[in-house]
Amino acid sequence: MTAFVTRFAPSPTGYLHRGHAFSALTAYEAAREAHGRFILRIEDIDRTRCRPEYDAAIFEDLAWLGLSWEEPVRRQSEHMEDYARALRELAERGLLYRCFRTRREIGEEIGRAPHGTMEVFRGQPLPAHEEAQKLAAGEPFAWRLSLEAAERTLGGFGALTFDDEARGEVQARPELGGDVVLARKDVGVAYHLAVVVDDAGQGITHVIRGEDLFEATHVQRLLQALLGLATPAYRHHRLLAGPDGKRFAKRDRAETLRELRARGMTADGIRKELGFG
């Protein structure tokens, strides 16, 4: 039997809501059906947004839903050196550049792109003397992946494909993400890098997550190729919508699992409602 290892990888930046429950249950049930393994990973690299009470609630809420997971649980904040190593490797190979632009500057630049469409950011390293000046002045910078350098290194993106359960073999289009940030000014590492390092390091064979991360998969497929990491199979599940037809999201103050629990909803009730009866 082939191995099946999947994961649920929440960020403790808010309480879990139905959308998270659906995602966690989808991965958990897939592992159970495949007689595989289910891993919980805490994606807490952004210390400015993560809070201990959200972290603790993840464990409480998932246990309440009836899930169990392997111990020890990997916490990204405890493995920053792993991500720094990958970052150094990419930087040494000339695949990254320092970006000193502020968020506002980038917004303005993207806004000025032709056709009025939102275009993703593509940039390039500053001339050496300008960069040296900024570094000497202690200006903060992010590390961005250079799509141009990546394309040169790989001889094009044509060979980058991934297996998507609903779509079959998908041609990766990393340009969808532009020159993504791989190390943030404030945090030292960014989401895409930590995820690919961990998915490979933890031997994840099946990444099961929401359709909202489909574009991220294109970017992550490129990082896997650049870092020589295995590519898991992907399943992007549908996003749950609330009664108003809008998808659940933390920022819309979707009702949290703990609020549902407090007003007497049972775990069985939620599971049934989400189609896991």
Closest C-alpha to 98, from 182, 210, 11: 182
Nearer to ligand GLU, 108 or 252 (CB): 252
User: Shortest approach of ligand GLU to residue 66 CB, angstroms?
Assistant: 21
User: Shortest approach of ligand GLU to residue 199 CB, angstroms?
Assistant: 8
Nearer to ligand GLU, 208 or 226 (CB): 208
The size of the chain, in residues, is 277
Closest C-alpha to 254, from 276, 269, 239, 236: 239
Nearer to ligand GLU, 149 or 180 (CB): 180
Nearer to ligand GLU, 213 or 233 (CB): 213
Nearer to ligand GLU, 90 or 207 (CB): 207
User: Shortest approach of ligand GLU to residue 126 CB, angstroms?
Assistant: 31
User: Shortest approach of ligand GLU to residue 155 CB, angstroms?
Assistant: 28
Using DSSP bridges, classify how beta strands 142-145 and 96-99 pair: parallel, antiparallel or unpaired: antiparallel
Long-range contacts: 152-160, Cβ < 8 Å, 24+?
153/93, 153/95, 153/226, 154/225, 154/226, 157/222, 159/225, 160/221, 160/222, 160/225
Task: Summarize as ranges the residues that interact with ligand GLU (CB under 6 A).
Answer: 9-11, 43, 195, 209, 213
Is it true that the peptide bond before 10 is cis, omega within 30 degrees of 0?
A: no
- b/e 77-111 (16+ beta carbons within 10 angstroms → b): bebeebbeebbeebeeeebbbbbbbeeeebeeeee
Nearer to ligand GLU, 43 or 61 (CB): 43
Nearer to ligand GLU, 144 or 206 (CB): 206
Q: How far is CA 191 from CA 75, 188, 204, in A?
A: 13, 10, 17
User: Shortest approach of ligand GLU to residue 138 CB, angstroms?
Assistant: 31
CA 74, CA 188: separation in Å to the nearest integer?
18
Sign of the alpha-carbon torsion through 196, 198, 203, 206: negative
Segment (H or E) for 171: strand 168-171
* Contact yes or no for 263/17 (Cβ under 8 A): no
User: Shortest approach of ligand GLU to residue 195 CB, angstroms?
Assistant: 5
User: Shortest approach of ligand GLU to residue 85 CB, angstroms?
Assistant: 20
